[in-house]
Amino acid sequence: MRAFQISQAGGKASIAQCATPQPTDELVQVQIAACGLNFADLLMIEGKYQDTPAYPFTLGMEVSGTVTALGPDAPADLLGKRVAIFAGAGGLADVGLFPAARCMVLPDSMSFEDAAAFQVAYGTSHVALEHRAKLKAGETLVVLGASGGVGLTAVEIGKLMGATVIAVARGADKLAVAQQAGADHLIDAETDDIRARIKDLGGADVVYDAVGGDQFKASFRACNPEARIVIIGFASGEVPQIPANHLLVKNITVQGLYWGGYLTFDPKVLTDSMATLFDWYAQGRLKPHISKTFSLDQADQAIDFLRSRKSTGKVVVTTA
């Protein structure tokens, strides 16, 4: 079988030929159909991600496919099921072994490509907005990086939750994608005064920030009293420093959100969230935006495409 592996931090990943693994304990063997790429994959390549596995390892955090074999302690009813799995790693391969507890059985209407693009992006946004920020209908949500893999889902989910959504992204093409996802107002991060535009639109009640840097600073200064800012990541490369005295004056709350962290201390948050999201998908209320699909033999090109920041929504690699 093929596996897209990296042997050292900062090295170049490549396709390796490996023995097909067999499941033990509570693991299941999955014939992988598709794998969604994430910004965290780039950090893993550089050795900068908080959960980077020991080298060498196979890249690919979220996968979809069919369960083809079971370890002796895995539930028998998973055999043959179409599933999505947040694996953390191991997804860019023909076959993988994953814990049975992480398998989410797919709705019949969900394709493998959609499933591979679904869990991390939609899960992050739903937990951020519902569980952490407690976004209310009628509030104003500002989404920074609104055309990216997670940002676009925050626009969709924010609209479903009844918020007025302000999308911030770079350039007309990316803003058009955010508008198609339901954004009410658009701010071009390349040309607009972000702070002034947000304030002109009534200020921010919730800020969803996957960018950091100057965009965080601008939206922070445009927050309404009792606003909540949810920190998702720092795509700009700059981790902002937060003036605590400003938090005090406006009663602003800044929250962190690491979606995968809930697997270790409160996995029910994720399973409950995913059940809601799969239900919304089955109802036709959510539709993953896949920017481009690559084959496994083109995995290096897929990584480069993600790194170039030319993508909108998700980049997916299939095993075909």
pLDDT tens digits for 117-153?
Answer: 999 999 999 999 999 999 999 999 999 999 988 999 9
Q: Among 120-124, 223-227, 260-264, name the one with the lowest average pLDDT.
A: 260-264
Instruction: Decide if pLDDT at 51 tops 90.
Output: no
DSSP 202-262: T-EEEEEESS-HHHHHHHHTTEEEEEEEEE---TTS-PPPP-HHHHHHHT-EEEE--GGGH
Euclidean distance between CA atoms 130 and 119, whole angstroms: 15
Task: Give residue 311's pLDDT.
Answer: 84
Q: Are 229 and 223 in contact (CB under 8 A)?
A: yes
Task: Give residue 292's pLDDT.
Answer: 94
Mean pLDDT of 209-219: 96
Helices and strands (H and E) in the chain: how many = 11, 16
Q: Are 242 and 264 in contact (CB under 8 A)?
A: no
pLDDT tens digits for 14-39?
Answer: 999 999 999 999 999 999 999 999 98
Residue type, 114: D
Q: In order of start, what are the domains of the chain with their CATH numbers?
A: 2-118+288-318 (3.90.180.10), 122-260 (3.90.180.10)
Euclidean distance between CA atoms 223 and 109, whole angstroms: 40
| 3-class DSSP state of 99 | strand
Stretch (H or E) spanning 144: strand 140-144
Q: How many CA atoms lie within 13 A of 280 on its CB side?
A: 21
Q: Among 135-144, 224-233, 302-311, name the one with the lowest average pLDDT.
A: 302-311
User: Which is it for strands 204-209 and 290-295: parallel, antiparallel or unpaired?
Assistant: unpaired
pTM, entire model:
0.90
